[in-house]
Amino acid sequence: MSGNYIVSARKYRPDSFATIVGQEAMSATLRTAVLSGKTAHAYLFCGPRGVGKTTAARVLAKTINCTNLSAEGEACNQCESCRAFEEQRSFNIFELDAASNNSVEDIRTLTEQVAMPPALGRYKVYIIDEVHMLSQAAFNAFLKTLEEPPSYAIFILATTEKHKILPTILSRCQIYDFRRITVLDITQHLRYVATSEGIDAEEAALGLIAEKADGGMRDALSMFDRIASFSAGHITYANALESLNVLDHTAYRQILEHILHGDYRSLLVALDQLLARGFDGQIILSGLANFLRDLLVAQHPETLPLLEKPASVAELYQELASRTPISGLHQGLKVLVQADQQYRSATNKRLLVELSLLNLIGLFRSPEAQAAPSPQAQQQTGSQPQQQGSSPSAQPNTNTSANSHKPQPQTAGPSTLSNAGVTTPPPVRPQVAVQPASIPNRQEATPTPMSQPIVVAADEEIREGRQRFRGLKSRSQRTQNPTSTELHEEEISAREGFDEVMLQRAWMEFVNKELEEDKVICRNIMQQELPRLVEPHIAEVAIVDSSAVMEPIQRELPRIQAYLRRALRHGGIEVRVRAKAEGEQTFLPTTSQDRYEHLKKLNPSLEQLRDTLKLRLL
């Protein structure tokens, strides 16, 4: 390259309102104000870096002083004022960097310059960049001039941190908020630059650059120049990925595939490879969270425009989103965001990342994993195609969609549905199930032939009994499953022995697993006051004689009693609540004198010690 090489961010800097990228509303407003002659004396352009604030200020300054405006409100670029601006010799347009000229003396110098009218043109325009860097005293010195400038003076302030500017300054300006440039707009502009420079660039590579720029056109053009030099004028997706050293969707797609299939070994290996390439754990967490967010918006056509990806990449996201459960995406985002917040304070950062990814395996399930039956279910369903005359390939597909989220006993077929009270066709399976020829695989494992419904009922009773013993069955499931309700009735009629320790353990299990968290009063009372056995099947709990304390316990008493009967497998358990006697009341000293009197009752020598040392209460 020659010594006159100019970077793309400067070479392709917009010189008119029409060429400003991604700020159409702002450009239209300023163009209309110039055409109608209703320009304000002070403007404030605020927004992220690289979105065109200073560029818009320069275009506005040139257009205001143009002597031959076009019908669209654009500068002609032919008059003396426009040529002087393009050649950087204009005496009517001044740029001030507030980061290095932030003192009161600098503002006083500016005020003296404002007092002099323009030598050529109608307006003197002062562009103050990074205005938030002015000191408090400089802001105060600038207030009067900004509020009542001469008729020929126009101030254009630009800042990336609007919140640092004094409210008195904000009230004196017309404020324009610049938004981040979209990925599509940046990609189109990069395509225009590549075509103008004769560079062959892949659409996916330009989309990756636009995504990495995070809404800033200057950053995108800088990365474009770097990759163009790296790839010798032919920008491919692989070159862009290698030059930028970023994680793209393919890396996160691989991680999610391992999570969906529950392959934690491959997941840990993939994570180790990313860390070995130099990527920080927090970058992996935040990138995976963004990837899950993109999958979430790709699941529905209405939210698909929020994806902001090239068309080819968007199709890959839609395909993967169709295989991903939406509940897993919601929970996965929560896990990753919490891990990202805890990353800085974590002692072992790698372990935090690994545990976060392993936790996602329990939240996601691929369709194959969700539909995979247990070995017992495979034995039961293995004979169904032969019994019912259906093909082996058709039967599993039907069961997968219908029963992937239901309890396993309900997948047993017509026999289970008949037990639940559902009308089914005339059963054929019990007649065929006893024939040894129809179940050759189970003949060795089963000593005597048994019909299918009996096996299912026995398996269901064992499984339900274990769940009830561990307190894992919710109330909604108990009310919706008639079979489990019958088992509870059989259980309540039982009379198994128990002692006071088992009673108190079941009492605390109810508090921790069944009682709602918003019932604070009842929870605190039950944690403090444990029941005692007064008779072999009668439990008694004593609480404070107060309606505010008694009423919450009385309301929950039926639930408590029913839970204890199920947990202890004793249908005759009765729970009684009584008020504490006066001697059972807990003494709660509130003042220093009360505490001293209580201690004196416990140790009478305390009074003698007080008299000997001549102590007094504070």
Query: Can you spell out the DSSP letters for 472-500?
Result: ---HHHHHH-HHHHHHHHHHHT-B----H
pLDDT value at residue 270: 93
Residue 390 lies in a domain: no
Q: DSSP character for 41?
A: S
For residues 273 and 208, state if they share a domain: no
For residues 61 and 129, membership in a common domain is answered with yes
How high is the pLDDT of residue 586? Answer: 58
CATH number at residue 365: 1.20.272.10
- In a domain? residue 253: yes
Output b/e per residue, 364-386; b: 16+ Cβ within 10 A.
bbbeeeebebeeebebbbebbee
- Do 101 and 164 belong together in one domain? yes
How does pLDDT run across 261-278, given as a tens digit for each residue?
889 999 999 999 999 988
Q: Tell me phi and psi for residue 16, to 5 degrees.
A: -150, 165
CATH code (residue 20): 3.40.50.300
Supply the pLDDT for residue 3. Answer: 59
- Are residues 293 and 222 part of one domain? no
Alpha-carbon distance of 226 to 223, in angstroms, equals: 5
The verdict on 562 and 608 lying in the same domain is no
Residue 161: alpha-carbon gap to chain centroid:
26
Q: Is 137 inside a domain boundary?
A: yes
Beta strands 174-177 and 42-46 are: parallel
**Six-digit token pair at 482?**
């008639």
Q: Say what the alpha-carbon torsion angle 368, 374, 379, 381 is, to the nearest 10 degrees.
A: -50
Residue 414 lies in a domain: no
Q: How far apart are CA 408 and CA 459, in angstroms?
A: 10
Both 594 and 579 in one domain: the answer is no
Among the candidates 118, 148, 177, a domain finishes at 177
Statement to judge: residues 147 and 272 lie in one domain = no
Query: Is the distance from CB of 488 to CB of 566 less than 8 angstroms?
Result: yes
Residue 465 lies in a domain: no
Low-confidence stretches of the chain (pLDDT < 50) are 1, 366-458, 469-492
Query: How many other CB atoms sit within 10 Å of the CB of residue 535?
Result: 9
Give the bridge partners for 495, in sequence order: 570
> How many Å apart are CA 568 and CA 571, to the nearest integer?
9
DSSP state of 118: P
Quick one: CA dihedral 113, 117, 120, 125, positive or negative? positive
Which pLDDT score is estimated for 290? Answer: 92
Domain's final residue, options 369, 404, 438: 369
Rg (CA), the chain: 39
Residues 26 and 153 in one domain: yes
Cβ-proximal residues to 13 (8 Å cutoff; 6+ apart), any chain:
55
Q: Are strands 234-235 and 574-579 parallel, antiparallel or unpaired?
A: unpaired
427 burial (CB, 10 Å; 0-12 / 13-18 / 19+) is middle
Contacts with 310 (C-beta within 8 Å, 6 or more apart), sequence order: 187, 203, 204, 207
* 332 shares a domain with 233: no
Which regions of 82-236 does DSSP assign to beta strands (E)? Answer: 93-97, 124-129, 153-159, 174-177, 200-201, 234-235
Do 235 and 167 reside in the same domain of the chain?
Answer: no
Same domain, 567 and 595: no
Q: State which of 318, 341, 369 marks the end of a domain.
A: 369
In a domain, 521, yes or no: yes
Judgement on whether residues 227 and 356 belong to the same structural domain of the protein: no
CA atoms of 107 and 87, how far apart (whole Å): 27
Domain residues for 45? Answer: 8-177
What pLDDT sits at residue 493? 54
Beta carbons of 197 and 47 less than 8 angstroms apart: no
- At residue 44, the pLDDT reads 94
Yes or no: say if 34 and 57 are a contact pair by the CB < 8 Å rule: no
Predicted TM-score (pTM) of the model is 0.56
Whole-number pLDDT of residue 287: 92
Contact, 206 vs 311, CB < 8 A?
A: no
Residue 295 lies in a domain: yes
Closest to 504 (Cα-Cα) out of 472, 523, 529: 529
Tell me if 383 is assigned to some domain. Answer: no
Number of folded domains in the chain? 5
104 and 138 Cβ atoms separated by less than 8 Å:
yes
pLDDT at 552: 84
Question: Cα(492)–Cα(570) distance, rounded to whole angstroms?
Answer: 6
Residues in a beta bridge with 578: 542
Spell out the alpha helix ranges (H) of 164-244: 167-170, 183-197, 203-213, 217-230, 237-244
